[in-house]
Structure 1
Amino acid sequence: MAIPNDLSLFNSTSPLYSMMELYANASSAPSAPLCSDWPPVPMTTVIPTIYSVICVLGTMANTLAVCVLACASASRRTVANTFMLNLCVSDLLFLLSLPLWAVYYSQGYSWPFGRVACKICGALHNLNLYASIFFITCMSMDRYLAIVHPLRSQSARDPKRARLTCILVWVLACACSAPTLALRDTYHLETLGVEACVILYPNHAWYQTLVWIKILLAFLLPLFVISCCYCAIGRHLLADTGLVRMQNLSHPPNTPSFKLLESQEGYSKPERPPTPCVSPSSSGSRPLAGRGLERVLWTVAAVVLAFFLCWFPFHCVTFLDVLNSEGWLDSCWVNWTIQNLTPLTLCLGFSNSAINPVLYCFIGNHFRGRLGSLCKGVCSCLKARGEEHSQKRGSFSTRLSSFSRKLSDLKDLAIVEPSGSA
């Protein structure tokens, strides 16, 4: 398999995300006018720095979330928490491979870890790409059912079904990542003198197919489902709040308005929307109003915006790369954008792995309370062990002091006895 002579093709896309095309024939590579007046981004320093920050912050946040969710009692193992736990595990698996990619960029696209590590790290990246977005979509659908249809969805929102759904998500994510795992390999680039970790596409059709699968299944379709779910949630919460306000205005303030609503035929009491990472409360809770509603709406907006802002720039650059490979766009700014912004927008997409536990867990009061309880338990355990160790040291010191006194008495007795016998 030959590599195109034009070095700009290698630099045009990120080898990390398998966007680099290695055609069987060098003549099939599209022309790429160079932008000599546009300075390139120093990838060997910028990308490793960003990866290091994402790895540290994301690993800490996801590890705390996994500890809290995995140590939760049986009553807290809800549908939302099940999806969140799997999402954090998926993010953690990928974040642990980021240091290797940071080294890869810092050494000028030279992969020093071997062929097996190249395949594993590439597989973890693609697995996380699909699994994380699929789990976010499942969580959005679960919130929609819990808030908009709380009564009709009680039988469907079962933790056992959630675990089965998680298994299906992992299988689907593995199936979507299988072609990349098979095609990814190390390849010696003579022009750079490095052993790169890339994807060797058999032909251009393979490249197009895999790219469009990623754009559709890993962005457009999940974004459509997530947006529909949260738009319906927002309308439902606003409608419930408006209805409660009307009842409060038409009835004395001393009389709870929701009790009057319950007496109407066909009306079911609105359920309090679930706090992130916490199962929805029972149907006896009051509807949100004021700051509670505003908090939920801002959380909903933050989830959609975070997903969109993190991944939309990368998929836009990916789409430009597809158009460029077809020859439909072939200009200086297009090639400069693909060369320099693909790795940077990919970093932005990776940051979603560090943002996810913050949006879904740490802003929830119940989660923070359980995290505080877990920290207190760990501190109490460490303190108890420290006191036990201190007591053992004190007891040993006491026994040693007693033994020293006895030994000193024996020495004194041995000195006194000879003088007395004389």
Structure 2
Amino acid sequence: MLVLIVIRRYRQSHRSPCAYSLTDTFLLHLAISDLLLAFTLPFFAAQWITGWVFTTGICKLAGALFSLNVYCGVLFLACISFDRYLAIVHAVHTNWRHNTCLAQLACAIIWICCIGLSAIDIHFRKVVDINGFDKQMCTVDFNTDSSAQWQLSMQLVSLLLGFCLPLLVMLYCYLRIFHALCQKSTRRQKRRSLRLIISLVAVFVLCWAPCNILKMVDSLRILSIVSPSCTMHYMLDVSILVTESLGLAHTALNPLLYGFVGVKFRRELYQMFKTEDCIKTRTILATFFSVLYSVALLLGLLGNVMMLVVLWQKRCSWSVTDAFVLHMSVADLLLLFTVPLWAVDAVRGWSFGSGVCKLTGVFFKINFYCCIFLLTCISLHLYRSINHTRQMGLCRKPRLVHLLCLAVWIFCLILSIPDWMYLKAASNSDKENDIECVYEYPSRASRVASCLCFHVLGFWIPAIVLLSCYTCVLEQSRSDQHVQKQRAVYIILVLCVVFFLSWTPYNIALVVDTFQDLPSKSTGPCDDHRWTALKITHAVGVLHSCFNPLIYLGFSEKFRRWMLTVVTCGSCAVENGDFFPWDFREIDTPTSVPQEEKGSLCPTNDTEMTVTQTQQENNNDIV
């Protein structure tokens, strides 16, 4: 996306007909190709975790886009190489090389040819059951008497047209260019452009050569030139999958090469954010914040509402962790209700008054504190359930769990008191949007004290507790062979890691802003880069509110099964009244439960339950 923005800005800022070259056109289409390829990756990543859960049409479309953009990537690199070859070796006239009509025609031909090559995926790709696995996979299934011939033909086409022939074109062009540069002197800009393109080609070859070499070996196996065996077939399949994943890394490496090697890219990126371009910088930041907040609102509302629906469906068998996760989802929803206000503030400035300003700040702090404190409670509960199993009876009392959650909410409200006191809508004459929601502290000491409280109580102390818990938990789980318990440990660990990745940048930016000697009120993105850093890291922190449901969806097979059941059969469960989608009785529920313990989060018999039964109940959590 950043490459597309920079190229578009360069085209708008250079109106002359000779400013936009053939290479720029090909780089633009290469970035579009990589972006389309990246859109297909979440589908295939989900496939290897849960199997293919989408329709056959999406399977065909994702496979066709994958093949289409793999072919397009190398062909656009070949075109870039040929353009540089004509410019340096044959010194083709500049007006011809800047004829964008010819460049667009060449790109159109490439897209049409690649669409033709990807039509095979549209025809043959389907969702099939894999022998030995209780999952469906989206794969190319020829399912004919000549399937071996089709497979061989496809691999040869991919090897020749998608790798070898374009690679030969690039090697020929760059050998001739290297020879020409040795014979005569050229301008420094041409040398730098050549370095960029050679870097792009080298990265592509290093990424895709291993996969294509293995495909060639597989073709030799099909032709019986290499003696086939089940072991070799299995090793080739796994190796091709791994090397193909390595090849996909080139979609992420190309933008890095534009930034570190391309002088034009670095210059335009700098111009985009420099002080003299202040109005455009504000526009870009406003667009960025609007998109980011919209994504957070859409994914966060959908994910957290589904989380609450799932937890409500299994309310009769809530575990301790389920109660904590429920309160985390409620805290995330409270923050998401303020996201539209932040989005409007990014575009127009604050126009809702001081009361709403205080409320949004309070919800922001409550969400931050609640998430970290509830994650700490979950981690402590996990630590006690694994390291002190015999002492878990008291922790499973529902009244104690709910009282603990209530105490967390009250403590978070107390910690948000500075927001009620110091947040207000104030004017700022240095900004185009003259009203903003800011902190106005009576003194520097109160500002430092408030920020230290935020960092120490809301970040460093919980971080130390979490680090201590997981050091002990991971050490103990090495000797525990219970797969479900280990999975629970990893999911909660991922939740903590994602939390710190989301909020650490904001804490760092806030520390820098707090202890600077400059005035506390920001002057906007043109004169104070701290303002921009705080706004961006604040938006990333808000985005965390949609991550927890995605983590559960990606790592917890049980949660995915429950969510799919709610989506597909939730209505019939309500109508019939006989459908209970969260049934743990086969693994978690004791055979006899005393009458006085019914209604608890996890019914237990403290006098008769064994350690093994207690450990099984620890896995009743939603993770």
Task: Give the TM bin, normalised by the shorter chain.
Answer: 0.5 to 0.7
Corresponding residue to 1:368 among 560, 571, 575: 560
Q: CA deviation at 1:159?
A: 2.1
Measure, in 2, the Cα distance between the counterparts of 1:69 and 1:180. 32
Q: Per-residue deviation at 1:189? A: 2.5
Match of 1:222 among 462, 483, 501: 462
Per-residue deviation at 1:293?
A: 7.1
Query: For 1:51-101, what per-residue CA distance to the aligned partner results, in whole angstroms no more than 9, with x for missing partners?
Result: 111111111111100111123242x21211111000000000111110111
89, 94, 99: which one aligns with 2:335: 94
Q: CA deviation at 1:377?
A: 3.5
Residue 360 of structure 2 aligns with which residue? 121
Task: Select 1:150's aligned residue among 385, 389, 406.
Answer: 389
Q: In the alignment, which residue of structure 2 is the partner of 1:68?
A: 310
User: Cα offset for 1:141?
Assistant: 1.1
| 8 Å Cα contact 2:372-2:458 kept in structure 1 | yes
Provide the residue aligned with 2:407 in structure 1: 168
Shift of 1:103: 0.3
What's 1:207 paired with? 447
Q: Where does the alignment leave 5 or more consecutive residues of structure 2 unmatched?
A: 1-273, 520-526, 577-623
- What residue is the counterpart of 2:262 in the other structure? none
* Structure 1 residue 381 displacement after superposition: 6.9
Matched, 1:44 2:286: yes
Match of 2:616 in 1: none
CA contact 1:83–1:135 (8 Å) conserved in 2: yes
Deviations 1:122-164 (A, max 9, x none): 2111111211211111111111112222221222232221100
- State the one-letter code of the partner of 1:99: P
C-alpha contact 2:379 2:492 (8 A) present in aligned 1: no
SS of residue in 1 equivalent to 2:458 = helix
Paired position in structure 2 for 1:233: 473
Q: Which has the higher helix share?
A: 2
> SS of the counterpart of 1:201?
coil
Per chain length, whose mean CA-contact separation is higher, i.e. which structure has more relative contact order (CA < 8 Å, sep 6+)? Answer: 1
How far residue 374 of structure 1 moved from its aligned partner, in angstroms, is 2.3
State the match for 1:321 in structure 2: 513
- 1:326 positional shift: 7.6
Contact 2:357 2:423 in 1 (8 A): yes
Letter aligned with residue 53 of structure 1: V
Q: How does 1:249-288 map to 2 (within 5 A)?
A: 287-288=482-483
Q: Structure 1: give runs of 5+ residues left out of the alignment.
A: 1-34, 242-286, 328-334, 385-422
- CA deviation map 1:364-417 (0-9, x unaligned): 333333323322333437999xxxxxxxxxxxxxxxxxxxxxxxxxxxxxxxxx
CA shift at 1:190, angstroms? Answer: 3.3
Aligned 8 A contact 1:317 1:337 in 2:
no
CA deviations over 1:220-245 (Å, ceiling 9, x no partner): 1111111211221111110334xxxx
Could you tell me the TM-score, scaled by structure 2's length?
0.44
Match of 2:300 among 50, 58, 61: 58
The reply to whether residue 178 of structure 1 matches residue 417 of structure 2 is: yes
Match of 1:354 among 540, 546, 556: 546
Deviations 1:273-311 (A, max 9, x none): xxxxxxxxxxxxxx33xxx57645543542232122111
Alpha-carbon shift at residue 191 of structure 1 (Å): 3.6
Identity %: 25
TM-score by length of 1: 0.63
Secondary structure of the corresponding residue to residue 298 of structure 2? helix
Matched, 1:380 2:572: yes
2:373 to 134, 149, 153: 134
8 Å Cα contact 1:70-1:85 kept in structure 2: no
Q: Is residue 308 of structure 1 aligned with residue 500 of structure 2? A: yes
Q: Does structure 1 conserve the Cα–Cα contact (< 8 Å) formed by 2:358 and 2:420?
A: yes
Structure 1 residue matching 2:512: 3-state secondary structure: helix
Counterparts in 2 of 1:350 and 1:220: CA distance versus 1, 3 Å? same
Q: In the TM superposition, what whole-angstrom CA distance separates every residue of 1:10-48 from its partner, at most 9, and x where no partner exists?
A: xxxxxxxxxxxxxxxxxxxxxxxxx85898573222112
The one of 175, 187, 195 equivalent to 2:426 is 187
Aligned residues: 294
Aligned pair in 2 of structure 1 residues 201, 106: CA closer, same or farther (>3 Å)?
A: same
CA separation of 1:300 and 1:79: change in aligned 2, threshold 3 A = closer
Matches of 1:295 and 1:128, distance apart in 2: 26
Letter in 2 for 1:177: S
CA distance in 2, matches of 1:300, 1:200: 38
- Structure 1 counterpart SS, 2:425: strand
8 Å contact 1:65–1:361 — kept in the other structure? no
- Return the alpha-carbon distance in structure 1 between the equivalents of residues 338 and 470 of structure 2: 32
Give the drift of 1:176.
Answer: 0.3
Contact 1:123 1:177 in 2 (8 A): yes
Q: Distance in 1 between matches of 2:398 and 2:555?
A: 23
- Aligned CA RMSD, in angstroms, stands at 2.8
Residue 197 (str. 1) matches residue 437 (str. 2): yes
Structure 2 counterpart of 1:235, which letter? E
**Cα separation, partners in 2 of 1:114 and 1:318, compared to 1, 3 Å:** closer
Q: Is the 8 A contact 2:503 2:541 kept in 1?
A: yes
Classify 1:178/1:323 alpha carbon distance in 2 versus 1 (closer, same or farther; 3 Å): closer
Whether the aligned pair in 2 keeps the contact of 1:58 and 1:353 (CA below 8 Å) is yes
Name the SS of the counterpart of 2:390 in structure 1. coil
